[in-house]
Amino acid sequence: MSLTRHLGKGRDLARTAGDHAADMFAPLALIGRGLRHHADWAKARWAATPKDRRGPTLFLLAAAAVGIFLLPHGPLFTVAALMASAAWAGRRPKTPSAPVPDAGDLKLTALYTALTPYLAGPDDLSPLYSLDGQYKNAFADWQFDGEGRLTALEIAYPAYFTDTEPAARARIEQVVQGKAGRAREYRFDWDEESNRLRITALAPLTADIAAQPFVTSPGEIVLGFTDTAGSRRTIPVRQAGVTVQQPPVVWRTGPRSAEPHLLVLGAPGSGTSSLLRSIALQALPTGDLVVIDGAGTGEHACLVNRPGVHTVETSLRGAHAAIEWVAKETERRLIVLNAARHTGATPPEDATRPLWLLLDHPTELSELAHAEGHPDPQDLLEIPLRHGRAARVTVVFAEDIEARERISPTVRATTRAKVVLGSAGQEAVAAALGTAVDIAPAALTPLGRGYARIGAAAPVRLQVPATPDPLDEEAPAHLREAVIALLPHRDTRTEAAAAPAAPPIPPVPPVPAAAPTVGPAEPVEVGAGDPGAIEPTKDAPAVRPRPAW
């Protein structure tokens, strides 16, 4: 037998012997605790007795002891009674279990303690926040969900707190979000008149809405979806196989729009290219596209050679030529529309058909142009941006939020519809949208989550429809198929994987050759069963002429 097994067996024997010994000497230990308790009681009683009464007390105790000794069986009964009382006094009462602390009470106490350094005043005689204060004096109307997370809270703060300064507000909002949980978005409603702050945890937006035809009026583009507080309008959408009503964020374009151009900013991987694809799919049925892919990543390769797409450029020279053509086309449309308005004639279709210029990360081309000594492509956007509304020309400018300073002042001034995607800081979001946002973003945001501001309206939350690149094999198949279904026509590069395999054509047996006959030519009928026949009744798809750069 090995040494380890000997040691293990010895530990088991020692543990068994200890258990038996504890069971055997348990009565003695009980009586010993009782005697010690009696001795402590007698000592305390003797100490509490005045000195002038200690002599008579000793005399009475001695007389009682002599009387008990003289009684028949007196000492035996005395010892039995002492042991019984010692056993009763030596028993261990059951200690009550410690009460389970309330999770909500602990969270509110931690939040109150964290807010104390920011809301406590050193000269306040009756402070609302102090180190030994109670949160019930400052908090009201708190609510928790079934998982113990804070969903609503009203905080009172002293009147001397600088609630009009954005920096002071940001500190309080950061503390509250850190203690309440950074996995959710929170709306902060500052009531400066009554010195109250109302905090509400917002439910996450729906992120499983795929690209699909949306029910909108002409000239309306669905940027995404928000909550009921951000939009009072709902449209039917297909979600998880059923049709539901969702509140959309609608951007109105056209000659009567007050915000004819859009600026999209976001962190890398936040979904700016997906938003451009969603806009392109909604604009293609009624308009023409010119796409500039400044990053050159091929995010918009699915639009190449599509009906209505004039060009998709990734090079500096091609982008410069495309933007220059859009500028000249804007001038031409203005001339044609003004002439038609003066003569009272109907404007031609090529002047009223919407033209969309989609630019994805064009500042990359601007840096390349500056390095090579060429003109900045952003300088050519002044005419489409300033006169595009009257000419039915819409510009969508998507860029990284960190490259906001490299965007030309003309673009920032004329794009009054703005979208910010990704988990950017509140200061960056406020600078991009032009106003402070009363919603604190979550630490981790899904693809396409952000904020939108149309004109001078208040910013609202936004979730862009899932519009992945159909050429991306890592994207979910059902989302890719939804994008492919919205493209103007099928293209073998993108739809080959989604299209079902054609059934094999059975071999045709050889027909013996017949002797040629001379006679008048007869018309040949094209049969419907001929697999290689072309149906003459169907017109070829109309392809609009592309501009020559």
Binding residues: 266-273
Look at residues 274, 278, 290, 285 and name the one whose alpha carbon lies nearest to residue 250. Answer: 278
Query: How far does CA 476 lie from the centroid of its chain?
Result: 20
CA distance 485 to 489: 9
Q: DSSP class of residue 443? A: S
Instruction: Report CA dihedral (43, 47, 48, 50) to the nearest 10 degrees.
Output: 130
Q: Which residues pair with 309 in a beta bridge?
A: 289
Please identify which residue in the block is written with the tokens 């026509």.
Answer: 489
Known binding residues for ATP are 266-273
Fill in the DSSP letter of residue 466.
B
Using DSSP's 3-state secondary structure scheme, residue 60 falls into: helix
DSSP code per residue over 120-188: --TT-SS-SS-TT--GGGTEEEEEE-TTS-EEEEEEE--TTS-TTSHHHHHHHHHHHHHHH-TTSEEEE
Element containing residue 331 per DSSP (H, E): helix 316-343
**Residue 403 CB burial class (10 angstroms; 0-12, 13-18, ≥19):** middle
Backbone angles phi and psi of 167, in degrees to 5: -65, -40
> Looking at this protein, which amino acid is placed at residue 122?
P
Q: How far, in Å, CA of 285 to CA of 389, rounded?
A: 19
Sheet containing 439-440, strands listed edge to edge, beginning at the edge strand earlier in sequence: 139-144, 150-156, 196-202, 185-191, 439-440
| Run of H or E residues at 420 | strand 417-421
C-alpha to C-alpha distance for 25 and 34, rounded to whole angstroms: 14
Q: Residue with structure tokens 């024997």? A: 13
Q: Is 332 helix (H, G, I), strand (E, B) or coil?
A: helix
Distance CA(163)–CA(439), nearest Å, equals 16
Question: Do the beta carbons of residue 480 and residue 241 sit within 8 Å?
Answer: no
Type of residue numbered 331: E
CA 120 to chain centre: 33
Residues listed for the chain? 549
Q: Per the structure block, which two tokens stand in for 355?
A: 């033209």
What whole-number distance in Å separates Cα of residue 322 and Cα of residue 411?
Answer: 17
Confirm if 205 and 225 have CB atoms less than 8 A apart: yes
Q: Any idea which residue has 């030309």 for tokens?
A: 408
Please enumerate in sequence order all residues whose Cβ is within 8 A of that of 330, keeping only pairs 6 or more positions apart, or say none. Answer: 383, 384, 387, 388, 391, 393
